[in-house]
Structure 1
């Protein structure tokens, strides 16, 4: 493995972690800046496509709407495996995402186990997410006690 490949893997991991950290802080415009302008983002639950957006503007609208419905996000990233071929890479990463929403005066915790299948491109001296498919594999919801 070359030093260049190791550097790219480190940069790609930082990209995936930035997505999680910025999302948790609801810094949506900064999350969008991690993607190429022609991005595609798909969400699957129970093996069914439930959301699909393309382009930064559409994604920003979609993410802002979602963030307005969530009181708190917490994301923990796990494994991240990438294959790099020149200025293009594919990756698989795993995340545990917790979201707290309020419903009828009660805090509801949704706990998601997610696998992301990504396509990355290296342009203008940095890595970008071009395509992200999120597979919400395990979903648990419960009311939090005060």
Structure 2
């Protein structure tokens, strides 16, 4: 009888350890899926900017999201809500013939249905100024706060920090 009780206890212990391991594995997989989803938001934001699809770009933000900018250390305007954000993005993007984002590294901190992240990006803008074709290249660091709504990650707050800018005339 003692052997049966001991065997049962060992079997219960093994099942408990396996259940905990499966739970930890599920948490790890969920964290990986969240990190991939957050990287996808940043990349999709850039792709939509490049094709000037502001209508879909603003859907990456919460309804009452906040977007602000810092340019060479100077705080710029803050836009709140998809409508204001969309109008600002459209107005800016319409200044250029070509918009091209190159995304780099991203770090995120997950905290349940909230997360924060930093993403690096190089933006190239080509437009006409004073009848000259000009290329503006900028280094941008995005400081983002994300929320998960209805199973989907969205940007709730973004500070775009334009750390450097280089402008050159393009030769014909």
* Band the TM-score falls in, shorter-chain normalisation: over 0.9
5 Å-filtered alignment, 1:116-135, equals 116-135=142-161
**More helix by proportion, 1 or 2?**
2
Counterpart secondary structure, 1:33: helix
Superposed structure 1 runs of 4+ greater than 3 Å apart: none
2:95 pairs with 1:64: no
Q: Whole-Å Cα distance in 1 between the matches of residues 93 and 42 of structure 2?
A: 19
1:93 corresponds in structure 2 to 119
What displacement does 1:27 show?
Answer: 0.3
Q: Normalization by structure 1: what TM-score?
A: 0.97
**More strand by proportion, 1 or 2?**
1
Quick one: higher RCO (CA 8 Å, sep 6+), 1 or 2?
Answer: 1
* Unmatched tracts of structure 2, length 5 or more: 1-26
2:4 corresponds in structure 1 to none
Q: Whole-Å Cα distance in 1 between the matches of residues 96 and 167 of structure 2?
A: 14
5 Å-filtered alignment, 1:1-146, equals 2-146=28-172
Q: Normalization by structure 2: what TM-score?
A: 0.83
Number of residue-to-residue matches in the alignment: 146
